[in-house]
Structure 1
Amino acid sequence: MEVGYLLDRVEPRLQTLRSDKEALALETGETWTYGKLNEKANRYANALLDKGVRKGDRVGILMFNSLEYFAVYFAIAKIGGIAVRINFRLETEELDYILNDSGSKVLCFDSALAERLDPINDRTPVESFICYDRDGGQTPAWAEKWETLEKGNQLLDRRPKIEETDPIMLMYTSGTTGRPKGALWTHRNTIWFAAMQSLKWNFDGNTVGMTTGPLYHVGAMEDVALAVLLSGGTVVISGSGNFEIRRTLEVIEEKQVSDIFLFPFMIYEMLKLNDIESYQLGSLKTIYSGGDPIISWAIDRLHELFPHIGLVQVYGLTEGTPIAVSLDPADAKSKGYTAGKPMPFTEVKVVDDQGEPVAAGEIGEICTKGPAVVSEYWNKPEATAKTFIDGWCHTGDLGILDAEGFLTISGRKKDMIRSGGENIYPVEVEDVLIRHDAIQDVAVIGIPDPKFIETVCAVIVSKPGRSVTEEEILEFIDGKLARYKKPRSFVFLDELPRTASGKVQKFRLRDEYKHLREQQVNY
């Protein structure tokens, strides 16, 4: 089965889905039915074929969240192309790398991003630039207007034969450790992953799922959104940039959203609103969250305020199944510190440095296996061989499997702090610091130390209008952490650097603050 099936169901040859059923809704109000989404996808597909795009060719998408984004993605899927979904936050040189590395033949881009493409429009493999000129934006002279796609025929009769093992999407990992690698998704990966979620969470035609992240990322499209479309439900799409939790809560009320994906920092913002109890969230059944472990106080606070809302913590990664593990709401009280158990059709193991499984309760590297694990990185045979071994994806994340099969995430192997012969796991320290009522966000990193190898540095974001001193923090954590785990350095920022999936880019913080030794606190 191929991804185009999700929309083909409205056509006469299948007719298993009503064409007038609402498929997509922007938070600003615009909606498309399944019939209109399918028609748009067919038009765009024919236009891309007219541009010479053939099975296996790469088509870049560099766009903000929109209904058209979905249409372009499905158009590429229907003609056997490979959608290269590109982070719109990237700068010119980063875009240059991805377009050249992927060999993209066509690029659909937002007019607001033209300035970044202008210096490189003649030094990439791209043959056709197609500009989405939203909000009166201008199409540059070196690009074509969006009407190029709109004028395609609405009947798609030049469709190639597509196998489930054919690639559909090239996703460049957002990178917590450096330069991105392209994970190559197949139709099989995509359909299986959508089906796994639908089966696990009982999505159906009444499901209204909201995605709050950027559509170039699996956490916004493959997580929840495509699963809801497979189930015949409605997907609500948030806008790009300037995330505002109050607006999201208003949309939940207006659209009667039943399921929503919120990254941890969004949940923290929500729970720290002084009037959070005034919002009517009766329709909301489930919040899904991943990227980083949820701090335990947030789990308790959410249950206290909205006991009818189930919090599903998830763990995964682009190449190793975006949701490989999930924690059922029923287990949140007793196992809320864990990421849960493997999703349907997914296996998880924890191994040592030699690749051998460790005993229950011991820390090791998390490995995942299943139909949503990709098989390769694009043009990276060495990285592929290192990461994908005998069908298992070696994630680079540390974790613990307990005797009942629940997985606890301990952080990245590269994030673990080695201090004075002791292993320190940042999430344990972060869990204590975030409980301070003046702290909005926190990241804990290790910085070099000549005596202890590394010591703990806490990077703090204060709540708006609040401030907190090092002395106040140290007083707060006294008695809550062992002495060797306490921060010896502090950095105060307005915000933490994050990837598209909400993960803190700790490699950037380590590089920026590696010379803080002289400012360290002595205990």
Structure 2
Amino acid sequence: MSAYDERPWLPRYGDEPADLAIEFDDALEMFRAGVAKDPDGIALTYFDGSITRRELDELSDGLAAGLLANGFSRGDRLAVYLQNVPQFVIAMVGTWKAGGIMVSINPMSRKRELSYLLKDSGATVLVALETLYDEVAREVVPDTDVRLVLTTSELEFQTRDDDRLFAGLTRQRHEGTTDFGELIAEHRSEVPPPVSFAPDDVAFLTYTSGTTGVPKGAMNTHRNVTFTAQIYRDRVHAGRDGAIFGIAPLFHITGLIGHIAVSMLVPAPLILAYRFEPNVVLDAFLEHRPAFTIGAITAFSALLNSPAFTKDHFSSFTSVYSGGAPISPTAEKGFLEATGIQVHNAYGLTETTSPMTLTPFGSPSPVDPTSGALSVGVPVPNTIVRIQDDDGQDLPLGEVGEIVADGPQVVAGYWEKPEETAANLPGGALKSGDVGFMNPEGWIFIVDRKKDMINASGYKVWPREVEDVLAEHPAVRESAVVGVPDEKRGETVKAFVSVKPGASVTPEELIAHCKERMAAYKYPRSVVLLDELPKTVTGKILRRELRDN
């Protein structure tokens, strides 16, 4: 009997079934059901402004009608180049109502990156902040298929401008662009023709980070979106006790599902604050009293390290999850001590439309006694997670191999990249590129990224293990461990560390700390102290940048 096929190891909590019936196969239908359930309830809060579900429905109707009047057709792509602002959600729903596919673009993308994403997706419409259009997109758009540029401002939908974010900012109008709000106002009284989607139709394209080769557009389908929104509501308790705070970037799969999609499904208010700035976020916690959020542990650490932080900032939360970057047992314990709340682990990729495993709500993750790693949870319902060797063969429970996932959340493939789809999604199952193992109770533990393994004198060293040991030192805020060339060992271990405010430590002290706690081949031979470690906008530490230093 195969442990993977029969799934005898899948834990059951209470009376919850292992499988989950999918309520909606169409994300637009899911949105409409939420509007019908609570039309006058708040859909979006942005500083001192708010939008009801009825208003969001009308605004997105107006956008869809305006798009159709400008030649937008079913299957066309609309690219969104925005921060965490209400216009992002309006654009997503309006794109669906016009029969299209939304393309989410990182607002930190520069000219070369934006050009690639627009060309690769074939987007014909771009919705951008006026500032981003002026700084970046203006020179890029003429060489793409974009026919219509809609610009908007971060100052829309609120009146209390925050000097910490918007100092000196004014509205800008650019030649050759159309104002997003004016297009909607022109068509707001119109209702676009009815549209529906099949479960396997693409809802949006989300681009991988491109750490190996060029970024690839993951085709997240409507079934992917509705299924994972249900996972958040039913297994994470997102939105069930009150508002959701959008701490993750909306362009990222965590923001798209763990913030927007689940807020539509429940329905529950979604609180937005433009972008992550610790003191702004803390103030918003006190003002709006959210009940749920999910974000990278690096973001939570930044909040806890802010001089303004108090335990009361988190007092309204009933559910807090972390994903996108690994959590050490020390960080989990520190969050609990500081806030009184258990931070739960979640694990997924762009290609799994957010989670493939979760720590069940109300339960702490176990720590593996051998590696010291904190579990990233158990497979979510309807999902099979396998551990495989390099030949694609299932490994016994407890053995380390590549994590492979198969379920309703796994994407259909990569946009116009059949070879990459065949290589990374053979038979529809995702080869994650992450290395880990599953214990007999079904808990998944991630060892590290497959490509980040260090080979020191023939011994395997996983950076994650060294980072977890560094996290135990009271002065360490964050760390990243990489392999660097070494004449004698082939590769050796090098650590980059940022220190907590007010703390002091030397590289030699950190090396000694690790040497006392690890095998001789594992501890770092050199440590570099940095004020900040380089990160993606979602909070992942960029080891590749450090490796080049």
TM-score normalised by structure 2 residue count: 0.87
Specify the SS of the correspondent of 2:132: helix
- Name 2:485's counterpart in structure 1: 448
Q: Measure the CA separation in 1 of the matches of 2:88 and 2:38.
A: 22
Specify the SS of the correspondent of 1:397: strand
Q: Measure the CA separation in 2 of the matches of 1:125 and 1:138.
A: 24
| 1:180-259 equivalences in 2 (<5 Å) | 180-203=215-238, 206-241=241-276, 243-244=277-278, 246-259=279-292
Deviation (angstroms), 1:80 = 1.8
Summarize the Cα distance change of 1:498–1:300 in structure 2 as closer, same or farther, 3 Å threshold: same
Specify the SS of the correspondent of 1:414: helix
Q: Does 1:137 align with 2:171?
A: yes
Q: Measure the CA separation in 1 of the matches of 2:365 and 2:435.
A: 23
Deviation (angstroms), 1:465 = 5.0
Q: Measure the CA separation in 2 of the matches of 1:330 and 1:40.
A: 38
Aligned amino acid, residue 5 of structure 1: E
Specify the SS of the correspondent of 2:532: coil
Once the two structures are superposed, residues 165-196 of structure 1 have per-residue CA deviations (whole angstroms, 9 ceiling, x without a partner) of 21110111123434211101111111111112
Summarize the Cα distance change of 1:204–1:458 in structure 2 as closer, same or farther, 3 Å threshold: closer
Once the two structures are superposed, residues 357-386 of structure 1 have per-residue CA deviations (whole angstroms, 9 ceiling, x without a partner) of 111111100011111100110111111000
- Name 1:500's counterpart in structure 2: 537
- Name 2:79's counterpart in structure 1: 60
- Name 1:286's counterpart in structure 2: 319
- Name 2:343's counterpart in structure 1: 311
- Name 1:323's counterpart in structure 2: 355
Q: Which moved further from structure 2: 125-134 or 267-276?
A: 267-276
Q: Measure the CA separation in 2 of the matches of 1:213 and 1:270.
A: 13
Deviation (angstroms), 1:234 = 1.3
Deviation (angstroms), 1:417 = 0.8
Q: Measure the CA separation in 1 of the matches of 2:312 and 2:92.
A: 34
Q: CA RMSD in A?
A: 2.0
CA contact (8 A) 1:350 1:357 kept: yes
Q: Measure the CA separation in 2 of the matches of 1:330 and 1:34.
A: 30
Once the two structures are superposed, residues 210-256 of structure 1 have per-residue CA deviations (whole angstroms, 9 ceiling, x without a partner) of 11122111111212431132011111123225x21x43233223222
Summarize the Cα distance change of 1:203–1:145 in structure 2 as closer, same or farther, 3 Å threshold: closer
- Name 1:2's counterpart in structure 2: 26
Q: Does 1:90 align with 2:109?
A: yes
CA contact (8 A) 2:356 2:383 kept: yes
Once the two structures are superposed, residues 414-467 of structure 1 have per-residue CA deviations (whole angstroms, 9 ceiling, x without a partner) of 011111111111111001112323322110011122322211010112234544
| 1:349-428 equivalences in 2 (<5 Å) | 349-428=386-465
Aligned amino acid, residue 352 of structure 1: D
- Name 1:127's counterpart in structure 2: 147
Q: Does 1:509 align with 2:546?
A: yes
CA contact (8 A) 1:321 1:368 kept: no
Q: Measure the CA separation in 2 of the matches of 1:161 and 1:274.
A: 49
Q: Measure the CA separation in 2 of the matches of 1:381 and 1:168.
A: 19
5+ residue gaps, structure 2: 1-24, 156-169, 368-372
CA contact (8 A) 2:89 2:260 kept: no
Aligned amino acid, residue 472 of structure 1: E
Q: Measure the CA separation in 2 of the matches of 1:111 and 1:83.
A: 19
Match of 1:477 among 514, 521, 531: 514
Q: Measure the CA separation in 1 of the matches of 2:246 and 2:477.
A: 23
Once the two structures are superposed, residues 301-354 of structure 1 have per-residue CA deviations (whole angstroms, 9 ceiling, x without a partner) of 2333444x2321001100124111011354426448110101122211110000
Q: Measure the CA separation in 2 of the matches of 1:285 and 1:34.
A: 24
Specify the SS of the correspondent of 2:314: coil
Q: Measure the CA separation in 2 of the matches of 1:381 and 1:489.
A: 43
Q: Aligned pair count?
A: 504
CA contact (8 A) 2:78 2:123 kept: yes
Summarize the Cα distance change of 1:360–1:239 in structure 2 as closer, same or farther, 3 Å threshold: same
CA contact (8 A) 2:235 2:361 kept: no
Q: Which moved further from structure 2: 254-263 or 393-402?
A: 254-263
Aligned amino acid, residue 376 of structure 1: G
Summarize the Cα distance change of 1:280–1:265 in structure 2 as closer, same or farther, 3 Å threshold: closer
Q: Which moved further from structure 2: 271-280 or 140-149?
A: 271-280
CA contact (8 A) 1:55 1:160 kept: no
- Name 2:201's counterpart in structure 1: 166
Q: Which moved further from structure 2: 397-406 or 493-502?
A: 493-502
Summarize the Cα distance change of 1:272–1:128 in structure 2 as closer, same or farther, 3 Å threshold: closer
Aligned amino acid, residue 184 of structure 1: M
CA contact (8 A) 2:290 2:317 kept: yes
Specify the SS of the correspondent of 1:228: helix
TM-score normalised by structure 1 residue count: 0.91
Specify the SS of the correspondent of 1:84: strand
Aligned amino acid, residue 38 of structure 1: D
Deviation (angstroms), 1:137 = 2.7
- Name 1:518's counterpart in structure 2: none
Specify the SS of the correspondent of 1:356: coil
Summarize the Cα distance change of 1:120–1:201 in structure 2 as closer, same or farther, 3 Å threshold: closer
Percent identical: 32
Specify the SS of the correspondent of 2:517: coil
- Name 2:92's counterpart in structure 1: 73
Q: Which moved further from structure 2: 119-128 or 135-144?
A: 135-144
Summarize the Cα distance change of 1:10–1:369 in structure 2 as closer, same or farther, 3 Å threshold: closer
CA contact (8 A) 2:365 2:377 kept: no
Specify the SS of the correspondent of 1:116: helix
Q: Which fold has the larger relative contact order, with Cα–Cα distance below 8 Å and residues 6 or more apart in sequence?
A: 2
Summarize the Cα distance change of 1:481–1:329 in structure 2 as closer, same or farther, 3 Å threshold: farther
Deviation (angstroms), 1:148 = 1.9
Deviation (angstroms), 1:43 = 0.6
Q: Measure the CA separation in 2 of the matches of 1:65 and 1:145.
A: 18
Q: Measure the CA separation in 1 of the matches of 2:422 and 2:537.
A: 26
Summarize the Cα distance change of 1:60–1:321 in structure 2 as closer, same or farther, 3 Å threshold: closer
Q: Measure the CA separation in 1 of the matches of 2:185 and 2:434.
A: 44
Summarize the Cα distance change of 1:206–1:150 in structure 2 as closer, same or farther, 3 Å threshold: farther
